[in-house]
């Protein structure tokens, strides 16, 4: 079983990130307007998945801000910020923070996303939330970079993810 930590407390997660070189698992998630958005909507573009537990935590908010500023300006690239938060929470955060270069998506209708990407926390009080991870997918749907952040309070390696693009 794969584990991460939060302040030295181990948290089991549901599996492993999709291996580099494999096809990214398909998904359909809810946008801030409740519309369904799928991975297939971005065929031909590089897609960076910024996966996290909740937009209402400091580290998660930092990652959305950072990717909004850094990766969103890259050519032919889309950044999807994904968490179990309701679309309304994503919308509120993006409006308050003037976040407009990323697509905020909720897994609330499709919790299988966490299972398919191997990031659902399955132990401790955080069970059901998603671990912090980054997955980069090329324009043909192949995984080209992954990072499972080992400590939940730690930010992802932004530069490594951006270099993969």
Here the tokens at position 159 are: 């530069």
DSSP 94-111: HHHHT--SSEEEE-TT-T
Angstrom distance (rounded) from CA 68 to CA 73: 8
For residue 49, the Cα-to-chain-centroid distance in whole angstroms is: 4
- Return the closest-CA partner of residue 134 out of 47, 35, 23: 47
Burial category of 60 from C-beta neighbours within 10 Å (exposed 0-12, middle 13-18, buried 19 and up): buried
Residues taking part in catalysis? 60
């Amino acid at each position: 079983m794969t584990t991460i930590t939060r302040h030295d407390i181990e948290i089991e997660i549901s599996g492993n990130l999709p291996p580099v070189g494999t096809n990214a698992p398909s998904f359909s998630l809810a946008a801030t307007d409740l519309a369904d958005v799928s991975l297939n909507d971005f065929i031909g573009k590089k897609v960076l998945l910024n996966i996290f537990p909740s937009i209402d935590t400091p580290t998660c908010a930092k990652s959305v801000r950072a990717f909004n500023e850094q990766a969103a300006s890259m050519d032919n690239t889309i950044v999807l910020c994904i968490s179990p938060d309701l679309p309304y929470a994503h919308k509120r955060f993006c409006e308050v923070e003037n976040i407009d270069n990323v697509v905020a998506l909720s897994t609330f209708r499709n919790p299988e996303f966490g299972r398919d990407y191997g990031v659902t926390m399955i132990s401790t009080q955080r069970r059901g939330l998603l671990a912090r991870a980054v997955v980069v997918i090329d324009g043909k749907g192949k995984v080209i970079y992954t990072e499972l952040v080992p400590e939940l309070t730690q930010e992802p390696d932004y530069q490594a993810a951006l270099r993969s693009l």
